Amino acid sequence: MRILALITVIITGIILIYGTVDMPDWGDPNSPASKHVSPEYIEEALEKTATPNIVTAVLADYRSYDTLGETAVIFTAGIACILILRRRRQRK
């Protein structure tokens, strides 16, 4: 069982390392991730939201509904913990 798990892990790791060969170099300024939409956010965030910290501007201004949904996730997790850990009253 443990040998089977080890073989699965090694095969998956080799496939993933083969996939990194086509990735852009680490810290490359011309990688596709930093060329497509992020320059617009960096250049327009200050004049549109008046917030110097761009991460906070995107989190609370551009994506505030996403943050609201995240709060709903935390609420659901808390309710689920209470429902699982509740000791049921024993009826006699």
Partner 1 sequence: MIAAFDFMLLLFVIICAIAAISVKDLLSAVYILGAYSFFMCLLWAGMGAVDVAFTEASVSAGIGTVLLIAAVSKTKRRSKD
Partner 2 sequence: MFDFIVSKYNYWIYVILMMIGFYAMIGKRNLVKKIIGMNLFQTAIILFFVSTAAKRGGTLPIIEHGHDHGAHAIEAAAYINPLPHVLMLTAIVVMVSTLGVALAIVIAIYRRYNTLEEDEILRQRK
Report the alpha-carbon distance of residue 33 to residue 84 in Å, rounded.
Answer: 41
Q: Site residues for partner 2, window 41-70 (CB under 8 A)? A: 41-43, 45-46, 51-55, 58-59, 63, 66-67, 70
Report the alpha-carbon distance of residue 49 to residue 63 in Å, rounded.
Answer: 12
- The answer to whether the Cα torsion of 69, 71, 76, 81 is positive or negative is positive
Nearer to partner 1, 21 or 55 (CB): 55
Residue 49, CA atoms < 13 Å, CB-side half-sphere = 19
- Confirm if 84 and 91 have CB atoms less than 8 A apart: no
Nearer to partner 1, 5 or 15 (CB): 5
Give residues in contact with partner 2 (CB under 8 A): 1-2, 5-6, 8-10, 12-13, 16-17, 20-21, 23, 25-29, 31, 33-34, 37-39, 41-43, 45-46, 51-55, 58-59, 63, 66-67, 70, 73-74, 76-78, 80-81, 84-85
